[in-house]
Structure 1
Amino acid sequence: MPGFTEIVGAVQGEHGIAHFGDVFREQRRLSTGAALVPLDDRTVIEVAGPERLGWLDSITSQALGRLRAGDSTELLVLDPQGRVEHAAGVIDDGASTWLIADAGDAEALAAWLVRMKFRTQATVEVRPELGLIGFVDGGVAAERARSVASAPTGEPLVWVDPWQHVSAGGHQYAEVAEHPGADLAWRIAIVPRDAADALADTLSSDDVAGLLAAEALRVAAWRPRWSAEVDERSLPHESDWIRTAVHLDKGCYRGQETVAKVHNLGHPPRRLAALHLDGSDDVLPSPGDPVFAGDDEVGTVTSVARHHEDGPIALAILSRRAPVGDLIVRAEGVQIAATQQVIVPADAGATAEIPRITRLSRRPTAPDPRHTA
């Protein structure tokens, strides 16, 4: 969004404005609802038509058939083996379902939806003329974002990130009394780009934050993202995405058998962990850097941030057999000590209190005639 690039201090990164000069200050203001983030690293897809919700329900991991106008959720598209292919935030306005996808996934997701349409009364369109503005609810930033948000049916299109709570039909693997995501009231407004640019003209560097600030809050909340935590092997269980993106009680969809099997039997092949990094060196790891337990490579860093309170932090996908103690991240020839906090336990799913499905092959035993009155 060109208007934001004109604000004093704006520094462009690979996927959008990285920061406006003071990353830690931006994080603090963003976390209190005082700053807006232009999210040029994400894209809007509109799905319209009378059959859109039932159709999306049948081909994705989320229960969408009865999604009400104004409600928000998120979905995953899985392959037949239950691996994550696409992900998107979802909000419906009664006439269209709006998907918010990472920019690197949006075109592929839209193309896949078009291929799956067949005779369904629905249309799929990437909407590049719409921008996205992120904010934390509860402050002046919310008022500003909502004032310029697109409202095709009268109500502003503002996606409410469900990560604060376990969604209906979901399940949390993280065994913590207080989940860090509960404190992040993250919202994304869908905004016409010309309106976003006009808003930017009224703002100063005190009113905005960059993508680095938004990422720091996400990593601290243990929130998985397609562009970071997903690779060709990813199962939703491994990053605790069952929490908000998968409905365990809905009808059949592609990949459901694997979702149910791993959840019922437990032991996903890998698990997400939070790493608190030694900050004595100025070196910060990068996504893709290896994680070691002693001399054994046990995983890979997926997301990294410098947090204004927690210092250098990261998310990492580890082997299920990785020990739960301290680890080492190797970055640029430097070994960085990392204190591990388990997010997804190695036995995730096996201890869940869930009903076991009776095998269809087990038939009721005929009554013993000797015991018949």
Structure 2
Amino acid sequence: MSTETPTPFAARPGFVADEATGVAAHYGNPLSEQRDLAAGRALVEAGHRAVITVTGPDRLSWLDSLTSQSLKGLAPGQSSETLLLDPSGRVEHAAAVLDDGVTTWLIVEATEAEAFAQWLDRMRFLLRVEVAERPDVAVVGAFAGLQGVEALAPNGLPLVWEDGWGEVAEGGVAYADEPSHPARDWTYRETLVSRDALAELASSPVPAAGLLALEALRIAAWRPRLALEVDERSIPHELDWLRSAVHLDKGCYRGQETVAKVHNLGHPPRRLVMLHLDGSDNVLPAHGDTVSIAGTVAEAGDEGAGAPAREVGQVTSAAVHYELGPIALAVVKRSTPVDAGLVVDAQDTAVAAAQETIVPPSAGAAAGVPRMPRLGAVRR
């Protein structure tokens, strides 16, 4: 949503706008809003999301051939997620996918919608598909249990996408430790509504939360987001995205060779971690802030003072969680020791951080191919 088009939710008490989208960042109490959102008592206007539709009898097989998920058998009402990779396997676009039997609905980052739609349109060739951006459709986020939001149903099926992040999708694989995975309580869903209906929803008694609340819950669930966790080098393995958006046994698609090679024979060069941040200075890191190994930045009076920092990665997202306090997601080098204390350079303040492993250094090499001895080597 453009900031030039005021959201009807701006009339709600305490409304504070998110600079990038114009929708609510919060309504005065982000921590309380998190509690209500997580408990299924509040909705969030997802102005960072946009909608693309694909129609025509070839739509699902066509999307299946282009992207990382198996979609040609997607049943009406079934939710899925897929990635568009470049030929080298790097992530270019991500989409939540829902089909109603007539139309496939793609929910994407609003900043990437135009570019993604244009790329898809160029790839139609002679296939029976039509691609369209849908600015007339808005996205409302909520967790299981919320009542009072009526979904669009142009073809008789309510358009509600349910995020499957909490479980490993068929054909996918998880790198994160499943028994301790925080996504077990992640029941997030996105409902498509007419943009004209937003005013009625905004004036309803349904409680609302801002984007800050949603971001904090997303980070705590280790859920990657294209606009923040992905850069020009990202491959799905680094973000544990093989669990929900990649089918390892489907047919060919762009970037498949890299996906298979890294998963079966290699290791992703970087890995996603969650950071538990020291909040004593009341400084929250920003996207792109440098992450270093603690102790490589020598403090005044220490032996070796002035030693250069050993930088290992960058913060991708950060928030204050209503239970966990200040937290962040970061992408670090695979070689970063899992037990190393870290420090984030945030606003010229060194913020101490304890890391929680999401993608372990051992991720990949699933084929377990034994190393062959070198020619001429003597066995002892």
Other-structure match for 1:3:
8
Residues 1:267 and 2:277 are matched in the alignment: no
Amino acid at match of 2:334: R
Other-structure match for 2:239:
239
Other-structure match for 1:119:
126
CA contact (8 A) 1:73 1:161 kept: yes
Q: Deviations over 1:125-184 (max 9, x none)?
A: 01001100000012xx2x212x2x110111210000010100000000012423111111
State the alpha-carbon separation in 2 of the partners of residues 57 and 267 from structure 1: 26
State the alpha-carbon separation in 2 of the partners of residues 308 and 157 from structure 1: 30
Q: Which runs of 5+ in 1 are unaligned?
A: 357-373
State the alpha-carbon separation in 1 of the partners of residues 343 and 51 from structure 2: 38
1:55 pairs with 53, 56, 62, which one? 62
Other-structure match for 1:196:
198
Other-structure match for 2:18:
13
Q: Deviations over 1:175-230 (max 9, x none)?
A: 242311111100000000111221111236xx000000000010000000100111
RMSD: 1.2
Amino acid at match of 1:329: V
State the alpha-carbon separation in 2 of the partners of residues 101 and 46 from structure 1: 11
CA contact (8 A) 2:166 2:186 kept: yes
CA contact (8 A) 1:266 1:347 kept: no
Residues 1:302 and 2:327 are matched in the alignment: no
Mapping of residues 1-373 of structure 1, within 5 Å = 2-14=7-19, 15=21, 16-138=23-145, 141=146, 143-145=147-149, 147=150, 149-203=151-205, 207-293=207-293, 294=296, 295-324=309-338, 325-350=340-365, 352=366
SS in 1 for 2:165: helix
State the alpha-carbon separation in 1 of the partners of residues 228 and 132 from structure 2: 25
Greater Cα shift, 2-11 or 267-276: 2-11
Which protein has the bigger helix share? 1
Other-structure match for 1:367:
none
CA contact (8 A) 2:53 2:133 kept: yes
State the alpha-carbon separation in 1 of the partners of residues 57 and 72 from structure 2: 11
Q: How far 1:13 moved relative to its partner?
A: 1.1
CA contact (8 A) 1:131 1:190 kept: yes
Q: How far 1:88 moved relative to its partner?
A: 0.6
Amino acid at match of 2:11: E
Q: How far 1:2 moved relative to its partner?
A: 2.1
State the alpha-carbon separation in 2 of the partners of residues 336 and 355 from structure 1: 39
Q: Which runs of 5+ in 2 are unaligned?
A: 1-5, 297-308, 370-380
CA contact (8 A) 1:7 1:203 kept: no
State the alpha-carbon separation in 2 of the partners of residues 128 and 213 from structure 1: 24
SS in 1 for 2:148: helix
Amino acid at match of 1:124: V
Aligned structure 1 segments of 4 or more residues deviating by more than 6 angstroms: none
Amino acid at match of 2:163: D
TM-score between both structures, scaled by the size of structure 2: 0.89
State the alpha-carbon separation in 2 of the partners of residues 77 and 133 from structure 1: 24
State the alpha-carbon separation in 2 of the partners of residues 342 and 315 from structure 1: 10
SS in 2 for 1:18: strand
State the alpha-carbon separation in 2 of the partners of residues 165 and 197 from structure 1: 35
Amino acid at match of 2:352: A
Amino acid at match of 2:333: S
Q: Deviations over 1:40-71 (max 9, x none)?
A: 11100011111000000000000000000000
Amino acid at match of 1:327: L
SS in 1 for 2:112: helix
Q: Deviations over 1:276-326 (max 9, x none)?
A: 000111110001000001220000000101000000000000011112121
**Paired positions, count:** 347
Amino acid at match of 2:260: A
Amino acid at match of 2:148: R
TM-score between both structures, scaled by the size of structure 1: 0.91
Amino acid at match of 2:360: P
Amino acid at match of 1:155: L
CA contact (8 A) 2:265 2:368 kept: no
CA contact (8 A) 1:46 1:98 kept: yes
Q: How far 1:261 moved relative to its partner?
A: 0.1
Amino acid at match of 1:180: P
SS in 2 for 1:273: strand
